[in-house]
């Protein structure tokens, strides 16, 4: 309704300064994008990039929401979202904070509610511990692993990859980038 069309909706949870999702919107006008970030000061940087860069002046398939991802099921309707991007999510290294990780089984439940039939989550990180934890959570939650790689930039999935701010920084330091594409359990 807001976009005035029925194109699929892709969201990025924790978009930071928005480099990835704004560029995705420019490249894919047939998809509606929503960037989600919980800190208004950070979201403002994304808005400034979007408003001030000539390159994006004709891009009108993107919106932004300042919110905590915990509230996703209250903001989006059941099955409304076709793809969720999680890029370089905060690791929350202490075990007692595991529930806060955006790839915990608690967050998978939230994503399951808003994802369309055949909807997917794509997760990129250079943090191998977080990636391994996420692979475990996929299994614990009964989700399906479509594909994964421990070195995206040297994999068959490298072509067309749009880099995030953190991805540029960490790959420049020589860190391999891990990526997984996952789906909720099959619904009957
Ligand atoms: N995705 C960007 C990138 O790859 O360059 C930013 C990565 S940064 C490490 C993680 C971002 O996610 C931060 O801006 C943080 O405020 C945001 N974030 C973390 N937890 C969140 C949550 N529960 N809801 C919304 N945003 C969150």
Query: Is pLDDT above 60 for 62?
Result: yes
CB neighbourhood size of 108 (10 A): 22
Whole-number Å distance between alpha carbons of 176 and 97: 25
Catalytic residue, from 53, 68, 90, 146: name it: 90
DSSP letter at 167?
Answer: H
100 CA: nearest ligand 1 atom: 23
Average pLDDT across the chain, whole number: 97
Q: How far apart are CA 161 and CA 33, in angstroms?
A: 16
Full-model pTM: 0.98
Percent of the chain with pLDDT over 90: 98
Which residue's CA is the closest to the ligand 1 atom numbered 19?
14
CA distance 20 to 168: 11
Residue nearest (by alpha carbon) to ligand 1 atom 21? 14
Residue 3 has pLDDT above 60, yes or no: yes
CA distance readout (Å), 150 to 143, 153, 181: 19, 9, 12
Reported as a single tens digit per residue, the pLDDT across 144-169 is: 999 999 999 999 999 999 999 999 99
Q: Which atom of ligand 1 is nearest to the CA of 42?
A: 14
The 10s digit of each residue's pLDDT in 64-116 is: 999 999 999 999 999 999 999 999 999 999 999 999 999 999 999 999 999 99
Question: How large is the angle between the packed helices 165-172 and 19-27, nearest 10 degrees?
Answer: 110
Which pLDDT belongs to residue 186? 82
Q: Identify whether 146 is a catalytic site residue.
A: no
How many angstroms separate the Cα of 31 from the Cα of each of 53, 55, 81?
Answer: 20, 18, 11
Q: What is the β-pairing status of strands 115-125 and 178-183? A: antiparallel
The per-residue pLDDT for range 39-52, each reduced to its tens digit, is 999 999 999 999 99
């Amino acid at each position: 309704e807001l976009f005035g069309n029925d194109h699929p909706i892709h969201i990025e949870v924790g978009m930071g300064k928005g480099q990835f999702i704004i560029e995705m919107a420019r490249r894919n006008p047939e998809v509606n994008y929503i960037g989600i970030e919980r800190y208004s000061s950070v979201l403002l940087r994304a808005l400034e990039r979007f408003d001030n860069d000539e390159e994006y002046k004709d891009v009108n398939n993107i919106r932004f929401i300042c919110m905590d991802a915990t509230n996703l099921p209250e903001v989006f309707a059941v099955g409304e979202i076709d793809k969720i991007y999680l890029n370089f999510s905060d690791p929350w290294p202490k075990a007692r904070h595991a529930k806060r990780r955006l790839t915990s089984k608690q967050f998978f439940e939230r994503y399951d509610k808003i994802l369309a039939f055949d909807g997917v989550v794509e997760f990129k990180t250079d943090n191998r511990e977080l990636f391994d934890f996420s692979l475990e959570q996929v299994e614990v939650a009964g989700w399906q692993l479509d594909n994964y790689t421990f070195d995206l930039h040297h994999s068959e999935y490298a072509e067309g990859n749009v880099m995030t701010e953190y991805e540029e920084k960490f790959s420049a330091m020589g860190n391999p980038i891990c990526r997984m594409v996952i789906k909720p359990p099959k619904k009957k």
